Structure 1
Amino acid sequence: MTPGRPQAVLFDLDDTLIEYAPAAAREREAVTEAVRDHLPTGAVAGFLDRFDAYLFRHHAEVDTGRVPVAEFRDRRLRHAMRPWHSPDSALCRRVAACADATAASVGLAAGAAAVLAALRDDGVRVGIVTNGPLGIQTAKCTRLGLTDAVDTLVTSQDVGRTKPDGEVFHEALRRLGVRPGAAVVVGDSWENDVLGGLRAGLAGAVHIGPDRGAVPAPPGLLGRAERAGDEVLHLLEDLHA
C-alpha cells in the first residue's frame, strides 16, 4: 500500500458515488404532476412542503426497516395531501412509481468507478455506508456495478440505525477488519458523513460538494472535492504526509 494511504475508505452512496440529485429533481416534478389534478389551485407548494417535511422527520423509520417501503410511501402521501384530499390506491401506486423510477435512473458519479478501482488496486479496503432501505440501496449498487467494486455494503437497515450514528461506520469496519483510526470516510453530507465519521473515530473525512464557506473545519477534515474522482485520491495521499 502506498505510504500515507488509509487501510480502508468508506464512501457514502447517494450524491457521492452516484448522481442522485438530478433523479430526485425529476421525481419531484413527476410527483407534482401526479397530484396536481387532485389539489385545489395554488395548493401544490403547500403539498410539497408537507411531502418534504414528512420525509425529513420520519426517514429513519423506513431507512432502518421499521416501516416497510410501500407503507412508508403511502403514509407520506396521505400526510402530505391530508388538508385537501384523501388519495386512493391508484394515486398511491402512481406516486410510488415515481420513486421507483428515481432509483432505476440514477447513474454513477464521474470518476467514481476509477477511484474505487485505484484504491483496491493499491490494497485499500473499500466500503459503502448508506442511509436507506436495504433492498433499494442494494438494487442501485447491483445495477451500477458497485456491489462488485467494493468489499462491503452496509445500509442503515443492516444496523437498525442511521448515520450519523457511529454504529453504521463501525459495522462496515468490522466487516473489513480495519480499526476506525486507520479509515477515512468520503461523503456529501456534512452531518451524516463528515461529522458522523469523525465522531465515530475515523482518522479523516473528505467532504464532497460545494464549499461551506466560513463553517469551521473540524479536526480530521482532509479537504473538499467537487466529486468522488481524482481529487479524493490526492487528498487521501496527503493523510499522513
Structure 2
Amino acid sequence: MSESPDVEAVFWDIGGVILRMESVRAAHREFVERLCAEYPATAAADAALEQWRSVLGTYFGERDGTAFRPAREGYRLAVDEILTVSPEETEWESLFRRIRDERAEPNPDAVAAIGTLADAPLHQGVISDVDDDEGEQLLRTFGVWDAMDSYTASEAVGRTKPDPAMFETALTKAGVEPAQAVMIGDRYEHDMDGGTEAGLWTVAYGAEDGPAVDIALDDLRELPDWLGISDGE
C-alpha cells in the first residue's frame, strides 16, 4: 500500500464508485420495458433496449471534447427513437425518475467509507460528470448527501472530467490546494489522469492501473485507514 497522504479534502465520483453501475443498467432495462408496455413502440422491448443504448452512445460520443451534454436530453432522444408518439405526449420523465430511484443501488463499501470520513476533520465532496439534479437525487436516495460539504457536477461547470475546470471548481469550494486533496474514481482518463494533472492524489476503484494511480483499492472501506483515519476520529 502506498504512502498515506496528508490531505484535507476527499472527492468522490458517483457512477461506478458510490453508485453501482449494474443497477443503472437494470433500471434502464426496466424503464424501456415499461415504456414499450405503456406506449406504442417501434420494436419489442429487447430491440428497443438496443435502440436506447445506441442513441445514448452516439449522443455522448458526439460531445465536443470535454463540453457537457445533459443526460436528460440524451434520454429524450432515445425515447423519441423508441416510441411512435412524441415524448411530449408521454410521462416518460416521471416514469424514468421513479424507476431510477427505486432501482439504483449504492456501493455499500463507499457508503461505509463516506460515513467514517463524515466524522473526520476534512472536507468531503463530489466531482462527477452528471446532470445536477440527477446526481443530487442519487446521493439523497443513498443517504450520503448530508455527508458532503460540496458538490461539483458537470452541468454546473459546463465541462466534464478530465477538464481542469472540474477539479479547480471543486478545490475552490473546498478551499484547499491540489496536493491536499484526493480523487476517488473508476475511470483512468477522466479521474486518474485528470486528478493527477490537476495535482490531486488519486485512488483507483475499478479503474485500470497506470502511472496516474497513487493507490488502487478493491474495497473502499480501506480508504479511511489509508488516509490515517479510523472510526471515531
Matched, 1:218 2:211: yes
Deviations 1:98-143 (A, max 9, x none): 3541144323321333322433433221111111111111122223
Matched, 1:166 2:169: no
For the residues of structure 2 that align with 1:129 and 1:230, how far apart are their CA atoms?
19
**The 10-residue stretch of structure 1 (15-24 or 128-137) with the greater mean CA deviation from structure 2:** 15-24
Question: Is residue 67–residue 160 contact of structure 2 (8 Å, CA) maintained in 1?
Answer: yes
Question: Is residue 23–residue 103 contact of structure 2 (8 Å, CA) maintained in 1?
Answer: no
Pairwise mapping of residues 88-103 of structure 1 onto structure 2 (< 5 A)?
A: 88-89=86-87, 92-94=90-92, 97-103=95-101
Q: Normalising by structure 2, report the TM-score.
A: 0.77
For the residues of structure 2 that align with 1:125 and 1:195, how far apart are their CA atoms?
22
Call closer, same or farther: CA 1:50–1:27 in 2, change over 3 Å.
closer
Matched, 1:205 2:198: no
Question: Is residue 187–residue 206 contact of structure 1 (8 Å, CA) maintained in 2?
Answer: yes
Instruction: Tell me the SS of whatever aligns to 2:179.
Output: helix
CA shift, 1:51, in A, is 2.1
Q: 1:74 aligns with which of 70, 73, 76?
A: 76
Instruction: Tell me the SS of whatever aligns to 1:16.
Output: coil
CA shift, 1:4, in A, is 3.6
Question: Is residue 32–residue 49 contact of structure 2 (8 Å, CA) maintained in 1?
Answer: no
Identity, % of aligned positions:
24
Count of aligned pairs between the two proteins: 220
CA shift, 1:68, in A, is 8.5
For the residues of structure 1 that align with 2:112 and 2:122, how far apart are their CA atoms?
14
Gaps of 5+ in 1: none
CA shift, 1:14, in A, is 2.1
Q: Partner amino acid for 1:206? A: V
Question: Is residue 80–residue 87 contact of structure 2 (8 Å, CA) maintained in 1?
Answer: no
CA shift, 1:8, in A, is 1.1
Q: Normalising by structure 1, report the TM-score.
A: 0.75
Alignment root-mean-square deviation, CA: 3.2
* Residue equivalent to 2:25: 24
CA shift, 1:40, in A, is 4.7
